[in-house]
Chains A and B, each alone.
Chain A
Amino acid sequence: MHTDVASEPALRGTPPVPPAVPVASAGAATPRIDFGERVWRLRLGPSGPSLVVKAKPALVGAAAVALIGILAVAAMSLGSFTLSPGEVLATLLGQGTAKTELVVISWRLPRVLMAIVIGGALGISGAIFQSLTRNPLGSPDIIGFNAGAYTGALVSMLLLGGGFLATTIGAFAGGLATAAVVYLLAFKRGIQGFRLIIVGIGISAMLGSINTWMIIKADLHMAMMAAIWGSGSLNTAGWERAIPLLMIAVALVPALMLLARPLQGLEMGDDAAAAQGINTEPAKLWLLVIGVCLTAICTAAAGPIAFVALAAPQIARRMTGSGRVSMLSAGVFGALLLLGSDLIAQHALAPIQLPVGVVTVALGGMYLMWLLFREAKRS
């Protein structure tokens, strides 16, 4: 692998760094660190703080972001009132007519923003739960959040006959209460991944039984409405729902940045994380709280959309060729997955509007299959 060093400087790690940079042992040559892959080192001034950026994740991430932009413009162009991409961009820059402003800004933009933010948030929460439990099947589902949210929504829809707001509140309350119960039942001198998984399985199974029972006993039409909510849908998206979602999402960003390092440490196990100086129990609690918050705002806005949290970190890991799950790339791929799925959900069977959760499951599954297929071919 390290045969032809001269012709492959990129493989050896850093691009040439000015030799004038002072090194601790004065006079020694600049050490060339082998990162095992191509990296870029960004440095502020000759001896300022430096940042090592891995090339492949950065390039893949940039491509994914560009694709999100293209899909977003496409989502704002297509529909019963079709616009050209140029018209969409002009409208976004404030150059549109009253009619295009109504279509793009009032109707389609909030839905696109919600798809991006919810997809990103679900991807990040998936990364958190998979690292925390060190299990590729980990997702916010394991703490019972979605099962509890569905129970809460079913109770308020089917038993109390509540409208949209009541359903949202019911889902929120049900999800949070379930997460709290699972956490408390799994807590015993700290949280251990395996115990959390088992308690989550148990509580989710019980709630799943209640949900099945309510669906069976309900009037057929009402049960179907509830099931459509339960599969997650952006069909009722609008600014009144997008604005609170965006505000909370932005508020959570600093917390996510602070928790990125503890999460990386915990992925190597509690002991290794503690050896790195991470205070593991508070870090785990905060990660759980943030992970649940992210899931909760998504569920409140669009219902429990399945599979994004599970698939996005795995897709991101395989696309970036990285050995670990990173929150940033999981978020980017989550946003891409949900935005693409929503485009299909709206237009594949038009005028029938599918719930987006149905498409995320099928599309995410197909994508994961293709990745596995490709990986197997290469090995």
Chain B
Amino acid sequence: MSLTPTASKAATPEASRVPADDGLMRVNSRRTAGAVAALLLLALIVAGSLLLGSREVNPVIIIEALTGQGSTPDHAAIIDFRAPRTAAGLLVGIALGLSGALIQALTRNPLADPGILGVNSGAAFAVVMGVAFFGAREMGQFVLFSFAGALLAVSVVYFLGSRGRSGGTPIKLTLAGIAFGAVLSGITQGFTLLDETTFNAMRFWGAGSLAATPAGALGWLSACVGAGTLIALLLSRSLNATALGDDHAAAMGASLGRTRVWVVIAVTLLCGAATAAAGPIGFVGLMVPHIARWIVGPDQRWILLYTILLAPSLLIGSDIVGRLVIRPDELQVGIVTAFIGAPVLIWLVRRKSASTL
């Protein structure tokens, strides 16, 4: 259907080229303006995350602390707690959002979240094994188990879903992810429900929290997120082709098999690292790509950019709210994200412009 206008434009190039380019420029400048606004929002929220908390801190002290001056308890609180926590929020937010955008682009299924390839169930399974057999008790000890579990689970899912001549089609990968994830979560649940120690550890890990991210984890977290983001951005053009459906994408010369492998690698790096650092936080990766798509349309390059800016805003914003609402206690960030995100999501999907995948 969309071929008709293109064909008529080609027939009269002089007449149509100018307005068409003009329209594209107008759309792109609107998209750029939106991206700048999203960047400002993110900056504001990051500043808020440094400022707000159970302890009131003067903005001057924050600047002093970040530039390495001052040594009062306030300075120490910023350097030791709030700054790493904000950095973790930024990295985990980017990772969850991007992996969600990638998995939705690959599977073209609006229900797909980054956990669908088995990341979350693999991580939970490995953490339970760690608690039950290796005596792991602290959040810091869960990191390694979680990341290893995610890697193993995704490898099995990819192997299972890409057998056969047609390779890893979206539907096969999705079903393989559900199937293997279910097996793992059944075993996880069995262990959890039979032993109180395991149950107790899992109920806190499962909520998802930025407070528990060990400061030493920031180094490898940023390495994983950096690599994953780079892969995602390099993939954006191929993903645009993938969105047309497998046959059209192949006809356009996109290498489907290679794109899929790289998407799976990127999702594993991003979501695996995020889950290891903060526990399974499901909603961000599911929701933000939908919203980004409704704002900028189907171009994956813009969707990825908006997701990078909006997902950490949602996550850090939720973390701030979680710190403030029931002071001096805290709400885990995984609990707050749904409460802030879901009303926005529902309001947006009820508007006319909300498109399907």
Contact = CB atoms under 8 A, between A and B. Distances in A.
Interface of A: 135-138, 142, 185, 188, 194-195, 197-199, 201-203, 205-206, 208-209, 212-213, 215-216, 220-221, 223-224, 227-228, 231, 307, 310-311, 314, 352, 354-355, 357-366, 368-369, 372-373, 375-379
A358 B345 contact: no
A137 B335 contact: no
A206 B180 contact: no
B192 A372 contact: no
Contact of B172 (A216, A363, A365, A372): A372
How many chain B residues sit at the interface, stated as a range, is 35 or more
Interface of B: 109-112, 160-161, 163-166, 171-172, 174-176, 178-187, 189-190, 192-194, 196, 199-200, 203-204, 206-207, 282-283, 286-287, 290, 331-332, 334-339, 341-343, 345-346, 349-350, 354, 356
Given A206-B339, A369-B176, A227 B193 contact: yes
Nearest to A224: B199
A188 B335 contact: no
Contact of A373 (B160, B183, B185, B354): B160
Contacts of A216: 203-204, 207, 332
A194 B356 contact: yes
Residue of B189, B206, B354 contacting most chain A CB atoms (<10 Å) = B189
Given A228-B193, A368-B178, A375-B164, A203 B342 contact: yes
Contact of A205 (B172, B184, B193, B338): B338
Given A216-B207, A231-B189, A209 B111 contact: no
Given A194-B110, A198-B110, A361-B182, A314 B194 contact: no
A341 to B, nearest CB: 10
Nearest to B166: A379
A102 to B, nearest CB: 30
Nearest to B338: A205
Contacts of A228: 193
B185 A205 contact: no
A310 B175 CA distance: 11
A307 to B, nearest CB: 6
B185 A361 contact: yes
Contacts of A357: 189
A228 B97 CA distance: 32
Contact of A212 (B182, B200, B206): B206
Contact of B163 (A224, A354, A360, A373): A373
A368 B349 CA distance: 32
A287 to B, nearest CB: 19
Nearest to A368: B179
Contacts of A203: 342, 346
B181 A188 contact: no
Contacts of B331: 213
B111 A201 contact: yes
19 contacts: A135-B109, A137-B109, A188-B350, A197-B110, A198-B349, A202-B346, A205-B341, A212-B206, A212-B207, A220-B196, A223-B199, A224-B196, A310-B178, A354-B194, A358-B193, A361-B189, A365-B181, A373-B160, A376-B164
A365 B194 contact: no
